[in-house]
Amino acid sequence: MEFSTRAAELTTLLESRITNFYTNFQVDEIGRVVSVGDGIARVYGLNQIQAGEMVEFAGGVKGIALNLENENVGIVVFGSDTAIKEGDLVKRTGSIVDVPAGKAMLGRVVDGLGVPIDGRGALSDHERRRVEVKAPGIIERKSVHEPMQTGLKAVDSLVPVGRGQRELIIGDRQTGKTAIAIDTILNQKQLNSRATSESETLYCVYVAIGQKRSTVAQLVQILSEANALEYSILVAATASDPAPLQFLAPYSGCAMGEYFRDNGMHALIIYDDLSKQAVAYRQMSLLLRRPPGREAFPGDVFYLHSRLLERAAKRSDQTGAGSLTALPVIETQAGDVSAYIPTNVISITDGQICSETELFYRGIRPAINVGLSVSRVGSAAQLKIMKQVCGSSKLELAQYREVAALAQFGSDLDAATQALLNRGARLTEVPKQPQYAPLPIEKQILVIYAAVNGFCDRMPLDRISKYERAFPIIVRQVIKIVIKYFLNAALFYLFALVFGSLEFVGLFMDPIAPNAGIAEEIVADMGTVEDAHDERDGPNFDRLRYEIQQYSEASRECSRLAVDSVERAENLVDEVNYRVSLPDQGPEWREHTAQLISEAEDEVSYPAGDLEMAEELDQDKKEAQDKYNIELNAEYSRLRDREKALQEDNERLKRLLNRS
């Protein structure tokens, strides 16, 4: 009995312990490094790994699985592979590559994995997003219809970019491609300052691929000084970073920009430049033993860029109405846009902005070739007033380029052709703009309107930039006068309409009509005075100054010749005296001595003639100088009279407007 009781207790105890037995084992799938070199590790044993999954090596170095083969896995290493050796353990993380995203990223500089590299500590509250996601579908999208203003006259007027568009910036090195992108970021400062909600703010993501560290540091300084970092994120995969980071950086930046797009906000992302990403991808593919194709690029290099750029989109109203605009940059070699990578990206994007070396060295900056540049969105992403102002300017520029090429071979041009050349030269000058100085859209419209409608046709080309700076101020003052004038007119019209009679309108307009004619005459007089002011340094004064300069140069030349003749004569006389002091040495010696005496006599007579000619030239110069001073004083006197008349006409015009 005692034995059976103890057996029952033991059985109960064992059942209790077996029931309460629990272990928490962490099971990781691991593999071993078979070979490593050139940033590529071959790993055996990771049979369940996913494509694009992150792995961790024994030393803490991260990598990504790109090649899934029968016997091993090809892993590209994010960092140095010097600490990795054969036989090291490799652990799966179970997660696809992701990066931090959110507003906490604004103002920060991160690497291709989203790790801060600006020395300002860790990131605050943020979420994480996968770097590789599917692009929005057709139903989720909406056509591009909102302008994304760059602040560049040549772009906003002729090659407009809309929110959600993909506009390629293509050109040779050192032609201002990055400057176009940076100006676009800087231009958002004044636009964001006027935004009343987050849905109107445009956030910027700049991805630097394969650039020098000093270039990235300079860019950070430029954005900081302009207070543009507060709405910008910088992703830097510099030239010293491994090829996998340069390959991954554009996708990481795109994931950060998609955060704003998917939350009903607007973002702009700049890939500078995708040519270096393609080179990094080619390097990785060749090391992974993938079959090479054209220019040694792998066969899926088109998909490399298409799946990236397709993620830029304008979302429909049902999905938040956010947008992600992409400005990819491609570098060409000697202007060859028919190379493999340029043609790929051109076919993917919605247009291109072409920069040319020739235009850059001619001083046309930004060096945008308007003829080759195109926006496939067109005027749908342009303000209505800008569309009306610059509607014919692109056609006129095309006609100007064609006629200018032919005008080089002939001088007999009719008035219409000369007018076209004159207008085209002004339209070519107007889009010029200094670097890092974007222009607000309202000022662009004023300047372009003035150029298209011929207000700059009579202006020297070197004065157009000054005119451009002063024109908005002038227009602002004129608008004040016009508003005051038309406000009074509107009150009279309203009074007449209220009483149902137009007699009041007639009573008001009758005295204004003759005043309008007087005003036109006054303005015409003012234009005449301005023309006279422009003629102050006209051809007549140029001719006189040229004559004075020629007289001075000729006089100096004659004086120099006289001095040279005196020196040569003295040398000849010394030689003759020396030979005469010697005894007679024969007929040839006497003949040569006689020849030297003749040359000395001739040389002595030259300085007198040269000095006489120099005196005559000095006299001619004095007469020309006196004539120039007389005409100059007369011209200044005439201009003072005309300026006085201009002031009187200006006062008359002010009194007329006040009386009206």
Return the bridge partners of 110, or none: 116, 235
| Pairing mode of beta strands 53-57, 62-68 | antiparallel
DSSP letter for each residue of 354-391? EE-HHHHHTT-SS-B-TTT-EESSGGGGS-HHHHHHTT
With CA atoms as reference, report the closest residue to 659 among 522, 521, 511.
Answer: 511
329 close to 341: Cβ distance less than 8 angstroms: no
Residue 310: what residue type?
E
Q: What is the distance between the alpha carbons of residues 348 and 644, in angstroms, rounded to a whole number? A: 63
Instruction: Name the catalytic one among 294, 362, 376, 476.
Output: 376
Annotated active-site residue 401? The verdict is no
Total Cβ atoms within 10 A of residue 641: 12
| Helices 243-262 and 301-309, packing angle to 10 deg | 30
With CA atoms as reference, report the closest residue to 41 among 244, 331, 248.
Answer: 244
Q: What is the distance between the alpha carbons of residues 600 and 562, in angstroms, rounded to a whole number? A: 14
- Please give the angle made by the CA atoms of 35, 295 and 333, to the nearest 5 degrees: 120
Q: What is the distance between the alpha carbons of residues 590 and 651, in angstroms, rounded to a whole number? A: 91
HEC profile for 254-305? Answer: HHHHHHHHHCCCEEEEEEECHHHHHHHHHHHHHHCCCCECHHHCECCHHHHH
Greatest distance between any 2 Cα atoms in the chain: 170
Q: Supply the residues annotated as catalytic.
A: 376
